[in-house]
């Protein structure tokens, strides 16, 4: 099974991480593996998203509050 991940820059709103997670969970269902919130060493407006397969680019890039998204496979 192949996995892709995205590194995302979000707005600085307090609810940005939760809004991203809620949107992706609804849009991707079981294709979404995880949404990682920032930890020490990452900017507070960064999120990492892990998805199954290669179908996540559309949902990930169009999520609310996403300022930039970079796809890694």
Q: How many structural domains does the chain have?
A: 1
Is 22 within a domain?
yes
Task: Indicate whether 26 belongs to any domain.
Answer: yes
Within-domain flag for 16: yes
9 falls within a domain: yes
**pLDDT value at 3 more than 70:** yes
Predicted local confidence at residue 56, as pLDDT: 64
In a domain, 50, yes or no: no
pLDDT at 57 exceeding the cut of 70: no
Q: How much is the pLDDT for 47?
A: 93
Please give the residue range of the domain that contains residue 14: 3-45+57-72
The reply to whether 52 falls in a domain is no
Residues of the chain with pLDDT > 70, as a percent, come to 93
Mean pLDDT of the chain: 86
Contacts of 56 (CB under 8 A, 6+ apart): 4, 6, 28, 31, 32, 49
């Amino acid at each position: 099974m192949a996995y892709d991940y995205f590194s995302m820059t979000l707005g600085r709103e307090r609810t940005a991480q939760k809004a991203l997670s809620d949107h992706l969970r609804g849009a991707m269902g079981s294709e979404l593996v995880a949404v990682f919130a920032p930890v020490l060493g990452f900017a507070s407006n960064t999120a990492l998203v892990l998805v199954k397969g290669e179908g996540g680019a559309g949902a990930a890039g169009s999520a609310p509050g996403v300022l930039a998204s970079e796809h890694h496979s």
